[in-house]
Amino acid sequence: MELPPSAAHRAAYPLTRLPERVRTRLTELARTHAPLAAYLYDPDTAAARARELRAALPDWAAVYYAVKANAHPAVLAGLADHVDGFEVASVSELTLARTALDARTDPRPAAAPTPVLAAGPAKSTAVLTALVRADAESINAESLLELHRINHIAQRHGTTARVSLRVNPAHIPLTGSLQMGGVPSAFGVPEPDVPAVLAEAATLPALDVVGFHIHAASGNLDAESHAAYVRWCVTWATDTARAHGIDLRQIDTGGGLGVAFEDEKPFDTARFGALIADTPPPPGVRVILEPGRYLAAECGWYAAEVTDLKNSYGHWYAMLRGGINHFQLPTSWDIVHNIAVLPVDDWPAELPRPTAEDAPLTVVGELCTPEDTLLRDVRVDRIRAGDLVVFPNAGSYGWEFAMPHFLGHPAAERHVL
C-alpha cells in the first residue's frame, strides 16, 4: 500500500534545473559508461562566480580559492585567471595550485612570491618545507610551535618566511551561520594568548609576520552579517597590529560565503561589497577572502544510475551505483541535496523494469550500511531502474570529501564539460 502524500515530502527538481548541455552530456555518458557514477564539472561556471564576486569587492579585497573544495585540475585552471591566488592545505594541493598558476594568461613576475596561502591546524614538516621552498605568499601559522618550526625551516633554507597568525577570537559579532570562533578549538591561537605569541614571534629571525588569519564563519547567506564580520576583522587586526608593532599587510577573513539550497535566498555579493567598502583597511593592507564552496558548488553535478528500485512496506527506495563512497556530503553536513531524475530509455528487453510514479522516495547507495542514505522522502513524478539520479550543487566537497575505499567499489569518475 502506498504511503499517503505528505506536505513534508519535497518535490524533486524539474529537469529544467539541469542545463541542457549537462543533460546531453550525462545522457551520452550513461550510454558509454554504464552503470554510470560520475561527477561532471563546468569550470566556466566556477569562473563566472569568481568574476561576479571580484567585481563586487573593493580594490583592496582579494579572492583566494580554497583548493580543498574541488581540486580537479580543470576547475583550478578555469579559476586561475579570475582569482588572486589559491589557499592550500597539503603538498598535493600546493602542486596543483602551482600548475594552474603557471598556466595563467597573465603570469606573475618571476621575482614575485607564489600567490598561495596555507592553512591547516597540524601542518607537517614536509608541508611547511614545501611552502617555504615555494616562497608562499603567506603561511597561516596555527600555534607558537608552528611558528618555531617555520622559522627553523626558513633558516635552514637561507630565506625568510611570511606568516600570518591564525587567531581564535574570544568573541565575534556574527549571526546567521556556523560560527568557528569564541569557543575551544583546535584552530588558531586563543585571543588572550596573542600578545605573548606575537612577542616571541618577534624574536624569530627568519619570520616576517604580515598579518592575521581569522576564519570564524561558514555557510553564511546573510550579506549584512558577513559584512559586519569582515569589518570587525579589519578593525581587530588593525588595532592589534598597532598595539604590538606588527607591520600589517594582510587581513585574512577566511571563507564562509554561503550557497543557497532549495528555496534559500542567495548571498547578495553586490550588497556585501558595498557594505565592506565603508570600512577600508589602512593603506597598503589587503583584506583576503578564501571562498571554496561558494565558487565551486554550482560548477558540479553528481550523477549515478539507479541500479535497482524497490517498494518496501509502501515506501520506494532507489539504489544507486554510488553512495557515500562517492558523495558523502549529504550525510555529513546539515544540507539537503535535492535531486533531478534524468530519464534513460535504454533498458535490456529481457529484464523487468521497476517504476515508481508520483511517489515518495528515499535515495540510497550501494554500501552495506544504513548510513549510506543520500536523500529521504523526496517526491518524484517518475523514476525507473536505469534512470540517472542527478545531484546539482555537487561541485564542492564532493569527490574530494568522499570515502572511496570503503568496501572497495570503483571510485566515481570525473568528467568535464
Which residues are designated catalytic? 368
362, 406 contact by CB (below 8 A): no
- 3-class SS at 12? coil
- Sign for the CA dihedral angle at 67, 374, 6, 361 comes to positive
Q: Which three cell numbers stand for residue 325?
A: 563512497
Specify the length of the chain in residues. Answer: 417
Backbone angles phi, psi at 143, to 5 degrees: -165, 170
Q: Cα separation of 70 and 322, whole Å? A: 19
Q: Which amino acid is at 230?
A: V
Backbone angles phi, psi at 308, to 5 degrees: -155, 155
Q: Cα separation of 407 and 366, whole Å? A: 10
Q: Which three cell numbers stand for residue 207?
A: 619570520
What b-and-e string marks burial along 244-253, b requiring 16 or more CB atoms within 10 Å of the CB?
bebebbbbbb
Cβ contacts of residue 277 below 8 Å, gap of 6+? 58
